[in-house]
């Protein structure tokens, strides 16, 4: 039985990425809107805080995931094992993105400090977007 080496199975299909990338950004944004609606319904995110609005969150998620798509494409071009490398880079970036909710919690961004449930809600939104992007990009844009 023949085995494939890792470099053969870890190539990016740029033709697929051209539609998987924008679709991934859209799916992540819609998923975050749904999660945000649920979080708002249970009172985890105060409705009066504009920075947490659904529209702002959707645009923010979409644009940041598109940035991730660009990073994935660049890694795909230069890395020997682009899928594994992107997963590592993306998980680190996701971890760093948790700094934003922490800064919100302290009021450092010029917004009144919020409660623990709001911070958890924001972290959940980051996780939903990150996991969606990592999964879809590394499975659907992988060369077959």
**What is the domain partition of the chain in residue ranges?**
10-140
Cβ-proximal residues to 121 (8 Å cutoff; 6+ apart), any chain: 36, 39, 44, 45
**Tell me, what's the pLDDT at 4?**
52
**Cα gap 76→127, rounded to integer Å:** 23
**Tell me, what's the pLDDT at 48?**
60
pLDDT tens by residue, the chain, 144 residues = 445 555 457 899 999 999 999 999 999 999 999 998 898 888 887 766 655 577 788 999 999 999 999 999 999 999 999 999 999 999 999 999 999 888 877 877 777 777 888 889 889 999 999 999 999 999 999 998
Overall pTM surpassing 0.85 (yes/no): yes
Contacts made by residues 96-105, CB under 8 angstroms, sequence distance 24+: 97/126, 97/130, 98/123, 98/126, 100/126, 101/126, 104/51
Q: Which residue has the tokens 């504009």?
A: 50
């Amino acid at each position: 039985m023949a085995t494939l080496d890792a470099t053969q199975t870890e190539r990016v299909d740029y033709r697929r990425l051209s539609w998987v990338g924008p679709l991934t950004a859209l799916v992540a944004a819609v998923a975050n809107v749904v999660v945000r609606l649920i979080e708002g319904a249970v009172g985890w995110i105060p409705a009066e805080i504009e920075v947490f609005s659904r529209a702002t969150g959707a645009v923010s998620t979409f644009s940041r995931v598109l940035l991730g798509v660009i990073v994935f494409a660049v890694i795909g071009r230069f890395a020997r094992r682009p899928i594994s490398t992107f997963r590592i880079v993306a998980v680190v970036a996701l971890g760093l993105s948790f700094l934003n909710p922490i800064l919100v919690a302290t009021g450092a961004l010029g917004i009144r400090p919020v409660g623990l449930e709001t911070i958890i809600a924001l972290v959940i939104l980051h996780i939903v977007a990150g996991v969606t992007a990592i999964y879809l990009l590394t499975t659907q844009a992988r060369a077959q």
